[in-house]
Amino acid sequence: MSASRNSAQEVIQKVVEYLSGGSRLVWVVYPDVKQVHVYTDLTSARILTEPAELDGDDLVPGFRLSLTELFENTDSAELAPAGD
């Protein structure tokens, strides 16, 4: 989910909705500050910044994406919004 087009309250509501609904992993992308907040439960978040990598954990084994690659074009273009 991209947080750039949603209020903080909307983002947290979606995270709670996804995790309460059975999602085991939620990534919230903050392109303006080039961060990704990683949620696996309702009590904590891991904050990633460049040059860290997103990984698929045990949900998508082998998936890796560097934040440098993710954010390489964010200075000139916005990320697409997440679907509701």
Topology, domain 3-70: tt1808, chain A (3.90.1570)
Give the DSSP letter string of 9-66.
Answer: HHHHHHHHHHHHTT-S-EEEEETTTTEEEEESSSS-EEEEETT-EEE-TTTSTT-EEE
pLDDT in tens, the chain (84 residues): 666 677 889 999 999 999 999 999 999 999 999 999 999 999 999 999 999 999 998 999 999 999 999 999 876 445 455 554
Q: Is the pTM of this model over 0.75?
A: yes
d(CA 66, CA 48): 10
Residue spans of the domains in the chain: they are: 3-70
